[in-house]
Amino acid sequence: MFHYTVETNQSIEEAIASLENNLKEEKFGVLWHLDMQEKLREKGVDFDQRYHILEVCNPVEAKRVLSENAIVGYFLPCKITVYEDQGKTKIGLPKPTALIGMVDSGALQGIAEDVEKRLVSCIDKTVRS
């Protein structure tokens, strides 16, 4: 699977707030928060699903991967989505290891594994809180 997705009983707002706190503990910050439903409404498009995209970054890790291979910037920043699906809140991300696998670099694979482990941990802590 190229992604990691879990379900929580929290509201979208609760999940995002908890996730942001958990990300801070791992030195990741939210660079941008897109409320897709609201943005599409602004553009005159009806979209009934609540869908949020958080672009997150750890500057030290970003520097490490970009210093190794500039093309990895195509995958940055990391994205975490929080959305409603059939009345449930879901949180997910594309796995950094799956994305880095497209670059074919052993050095980057180790970094991607570490980043993925930390982001998944943040999501899992959010679900448990």
Q: What pLDDT score does 81 carry?
A: 98
What pLDDT digit, counting tens, does each position of 48-75 carry?
999 999 999 999 999 999 999 999 999 9
Token code pair at residue 19: 């996730």
Largest Cα–Cα distance in the chain?
45
Average pLDDT over residues 94-101: 93
What is the average pLDDT across 64-89? 94
Give the H or E element holding residue 18.
Answer: helix 12-25
Q: What is the pTM of this model?
A: 0.93
Q: What pLDDT score was predicted for residue 101?
A: 87
